[in-house]
Amino acid sequence: METRGQQKSTGVIVVDVQGDFTEWKNGALAVSGTGKAFIDKLGQATSTLKSSGCKIYATMDWHPSGHISFFTSHNNKKIMDVIRVDGRTQVLWPPHCVQHSSGAELVLDKGLFDAVVKKGQNKNFDSYSGFKDDGGESTELLDILKKDGIEQLIVYGIAMDYCVRATAIDGVYAGFDVTVIEDLTALITPETSLKAKQDMINSGVVFQKQL
């Protein structure tokens, strides 16, 4: 079989581009820089990648009400407090991406996606990574990538310092070449994003400014 010169098959993981994370939809956990212009840019980049033959996957945060990551699920806690649960660190967020709520909906055209993977469905575990939750339970993402013969991943979306970070790093652990497109991400805080970028680079994630 002739394989020389054949390109590695590329999968694109569009992380958590859901109303609740956007300013455009006045989301519950709106990340700065996520107005309509940013979302349009993500849509255009994703269309371009799809046209060039990449498989396109979306992850979705999909929490039950009373989820462990919601500050309202704990007594006397406020947004962005950090607590310890069973030896794990848990950042507390406003309730967001509650299953079936309008804020949980993807804000990109669903026709772009070859598969959509939901995460964070177990009330007791958070799941920044699209591959597995903090309890170690896997989503179907890795099986889908393997079935599709994917060898390299392009990752972008919201938020760079949390779910993009965790998904990109787990992608490397799973054996993929992973590139994060920086201009197609939005970040929650400058401090966590600086650390996140360093963590990703240390894990072997490649950073690229633009597509």
Which residues sit at the interface with ligand VGL, rule CB under 6 A? 16, 21, 61, 69, 93, 128, 158-159, 162-163
Rounded-to-integer distance, Cα 43 and Cα 112, Å: 9
Which of 16, 20, 133, 161 is catalytic? The answer is 16
Q: Longest Cα pair distance anywhere in the chain, in angstroms?
A: 64
Q: How far is the CB of 145 from ligand VGL (least distance, A)?
A: 19
16 catalytic? Reply is yes
Choose among Zn ion, ligand VGL, none what residue 158 binds, the Cβ cut-off being 5 to 8 Å by kind. ligand VGL
Q: Which stretch binds Zn ion (CB under 5 A): 48-56, 61-69, 77-85, 141-149?
A: 61-69
Q: How far is the CB of 189 from ligand VGL (least distance, A)?
A: 11
Rounded-to-integer distance, Cα 156 and Cα 117, Å: 15
Which of 118, 119, 132, 197 is catalytic? The answer is 119
Rounded-to-integer distance, Cα 167 and Cα 173, Å: 10
Return the exposure string of 38-67: e unless at least 16 CB atoms fall within 10 Å of the residue's CB, then b. Answer: bbeebbebbeebbeeebbbbbbbbbbeeeb
163 catalytic? Reply is yes
Task: Give me the residues that bind Zn ion (CB under 5 A), please.
Answer: 61
